[in-house]
């Protein structure tokens, strides 16, 4: 299973970064790569919560939170994919206070499907670009909220 890590130093307090991550169903509001997102489970956001994200016209995913430690870690399982070169992925968002800001580490591992195996170099490049963009978006939104 291919894997990589993306890191960022975010100029916002840890609580503000978590505030953005914790709005699990609202990722489309701050990450332009996600065209539409919605919670598909009831109750508070936490372990077991699910959402659907649409990257139209590039497919979509159903996701579930598998680990939820407030202000520290959220593990998201992309358990069902549509029109993507992967059949699933695990995304670990790890945050920790660092100076006046927050250290972010995103560990990403994915399972290429048939299409992804055929285009293996391109698939890895696409996944890295997408997750790097997600880290940039999270940083931008966290810093925007902290400045308010």
DSSP 129: H
Q: Tell me which fold the domain 3-147 belongs to.
A: Alpha-D-Glucose-1,6-Bisphosphate; Chain A, domain 4 (3.30.530)
- Which token pair is 139? 């940083």
Say if CB 85 and CB 66 are below 8 A apart. Answer: no
Q: How far apart are CA 36 and CA 20, in angstroms?
A: 16
Residue 16 contacts by C-beta under 8 Å, 6 or more apart in sequence?
102, 142, 145, 146
The residue written with tokens 């358990």 in the block is: 79
Nearest C-alpha neighbor of 62 from the set 74, 49, 73: 49
Residue boundaries of the structural domains of the chain: 3-147
Task: List pLDDT tens digits, range 25-63.
Answer: 999 999 999 999 999 999 899 999 999 999 977 799 999
Task: List pLDDT tens digits, range 70-127.
Answer: 999 999 999 999 999 999 999 999 999 999 999 999 999 999 999 888 887 899 999 9
Q: What is the pTM of this model?
A: 0.95
Q: Can you name the residues that pair with 37 across neighbouring β-strands?
A: 53
């Amino acid at each position: 299973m291919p894997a990589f890590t993306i890191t960022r130093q975010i100029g916002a307090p840890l609580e503000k970064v978590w505030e953005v991550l914790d709005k699990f169903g609202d990722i489309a509001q701050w990450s332009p790569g996600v065209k539409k997102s919605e919670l598909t489970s009831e109750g508070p956001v936490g372990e077991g919560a699910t959402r659907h994200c649409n990257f139209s016209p590039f497919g979509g995913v159903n996701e579930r939170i598998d680990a939820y430690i407030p202000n520290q870690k959220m593990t998201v399982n992309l358990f069902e994919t549509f029109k993507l070169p992967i059949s699933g992925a695990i995304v670990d968002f790890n945050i920790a206070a660092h100076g006046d800001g927050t250290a972010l580490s995103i560990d990403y591992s994915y399972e290429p499907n048939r299409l992804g195996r055929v285009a293996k170099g391109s698939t890895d490049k696409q996944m890295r670009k997408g997750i790097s963009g997600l880290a940039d978006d999270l940083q931008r939104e966290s810093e925007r909220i902290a400045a308010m």
